[in-house]
Amino acid sequence: MARLKVGVLFGGSSEEHPVSVKSAREVAKSLDIEKYEPFYIGITQSGAWKLCDGPDTDWENDGSRPAVLSPDSSVHGLLVLEKGQYETISLDVVLPVLHGKLGEDGAIQGLLELSGIPYVGCDIQSSALCMDKSLAYTVVSSAGIATPNFWIVTADEIPDPDLLTYPVFVKPARSGSSFGVSKVSKKEELLSAVETARQYDSKVLIEEAVVASEIGCAILGNDSDLIAGEVDRVALSHGFFRIHQEDAPETGSENSTFIVPADISEESRSLVQETAKAIYRTLGCRGLARVDLFLKEDGTVVLNEVNTLPGLTSYSRYPRMMAAAGLPLADVIDRVVSLALTER
């Protein structure tokens, strides 16, 4: 039986480029090469696309060739520049291991739709919706699911610090891995925090601080046929969760540890999983996503955010939660590829 030709996209021009490369390395370790023939397409931080042997430390220079994903659906694959001419490589499916802007926001999904190639994960609409926290909150809230109170600050707006009750969190509306996020404990810190967030997005969110445990739930599947991984809890010693910005996250976080399964009651665990599934369906997610939630002392569950292509690194939460539920990353890949080929 012929192997499936899988295009693995990684890198990208967002601030989450290094995380994406690390995720792709774990995917490369887990791909069953008896089933799949992988084609690794790295996107540099400047936006150049390169077909390479894999996401190793020198992938940008080690024999890589310029390549583009053809938007012409009759090509159904890659155009690779070789000795002044373009060679065509057909692909059966694409696994976009991309995080953040131009990876999880619907941009690459739009190109994949034009290409006609099946791809893993959320479509254009759900990717864009989940990437913008204010839009995700609005839609989820309309479905009767609790979200934090928030205020939008536009590009030319100066918020009035006297109108808020502190502490609050200030964050880019459309970014990930806690880049540009600040906890503001007093009004004198607000405007500086807004400027920090604006380094990553012109649209800024001011969000109430929810007093609760940070809980995550990994979801896999489509529509009514969903699998929830084990619930985790992020235990913080101080500050807030920002492991992907740390110098050596592979050796452990500076301020956080992960408890999997979460040390919560069975009733709370079930509520978290069912709420995560409801949010996933409400936002139109497909394939996989990590739903981050707050669990309050009174048992209330509140949405934090949804990651439509969660980190898959050696220290990431999604693969850890799925592995705890009996699905190692190799099995997760098999399932999401199968969904991409059968459900579109």
Q: For residues 80 and 119, what is the distance between their CA atoms, to the nearest angstrom? A: 20
Cα–Cα nearest to 202, from 177, 172, 175: 172
Give pLDDT, residue 251: 52
Which of 173, 208, 243 terminates a domain? The answer is: 208
Strand 287-295 and strand 213-222: the pairing is antiparallel
pTM: predicted TM-score of the whole model, two decimal places? 0.92
- From the candidates 22, 133, 277, 286, give the one annotated as an active-site residue: 22
Dihedral sign for Cα atoms in the order 291, 294, 300, 303: negative
Domain check: are 143 and 36 in the same one? no
Please write the tens of the pLDDT for every residue from 35-90.
Answer: 999 999 999 999 999 999 999 988 988 778 999 999 999 999 999 998 889 999 99
- From the candidates 99, 133, 174, 203, give the one annotated as an active-site residue: 99
Question: Catalytic annotation on 250?
Answer: yes
- From the candidates 42, 168, 311, 318, give the one annotated as an active-site residue: 311
CB 228 within 8 A of CB 219: yes
Could you give the number of structural domains in the chain? Answer: 3
Domain check: are 215 and 201 in the same one? no
Give pLDDT, residue 236: 75
Structure-token match 């890949």, residue found: 333
Structure-token match 């969190």, residue found: 169
Give pLDDT, residue 120: 98
Q: For residues 171 and 76, what is the distance between their CA atoms, to the nearest angstrom? A: 38
Q: Report how far Cα 212 is from the mean position of its chain's Cα atoms.
A: 22
Which of 208, 226, 244 terminates a domain? The answer is: 208
| CATH number for the domain that contains residue 72 | 3.40.50.20
| CATH number for the domain that contains residue 276 | 3.30.470.20
| Token output for 299 | 């048992």
Question: Catalytic annotation on 86?
Answer: no
- From the candidates 50, 174, 290, 335, give the one annotated as an active-site residue: 290
Domain check: are 41 and 180 in the same one? no
Helix/strand/coil for 51: strand
Q: For residues 204 and 146, what is the distance between their CA atoms, to the nearest angstrom? A: 21
- From the candidates 50, 203, 244, 335, give the one annotated as an active-site residue: 244
- From the candidates 40, 119, 280, 315, give the one annotated as an active-site residue: 315
| 268: number of Cβ within 10 Å | 16
| Token output for 33 | 């090469």
Cβ-proximal residues to 300 (8 Å cutoff; 6+ apart), any chain? 146, 212
The number of CA neighbours under 13 Å toward the Cβ of 68 is 10
Q: For residues 53 and 44, what is the distance between their CA atoms, to the nearest angstrom? A: 15
Question: Catalytic annotation on 76?
Answer: no
* Alpha helices (H) along 31-79: none
Low-confidence ranges of the chain (pLDDT < 50): none
Q: 161 lies in which domain range?
A: 150-208
Domain check: are 333 and 242 in the same one? yes
Q: For residues 183 and 205, what is the distance between their CA atoms, to the nearest angstrom? A: 12
Which H helix or E strand runs over 90?
A: strand 85-90
Question: Catalytic annotation on 311?
Answer: yes
Domain check: are 61 and 136 in the same one? no
Domain check: are 204 and 300 in the same one? no
Question: Catalytic annotation on 254?
Answer: no
Question: Catalytic annotation on 19?
Answer: yes
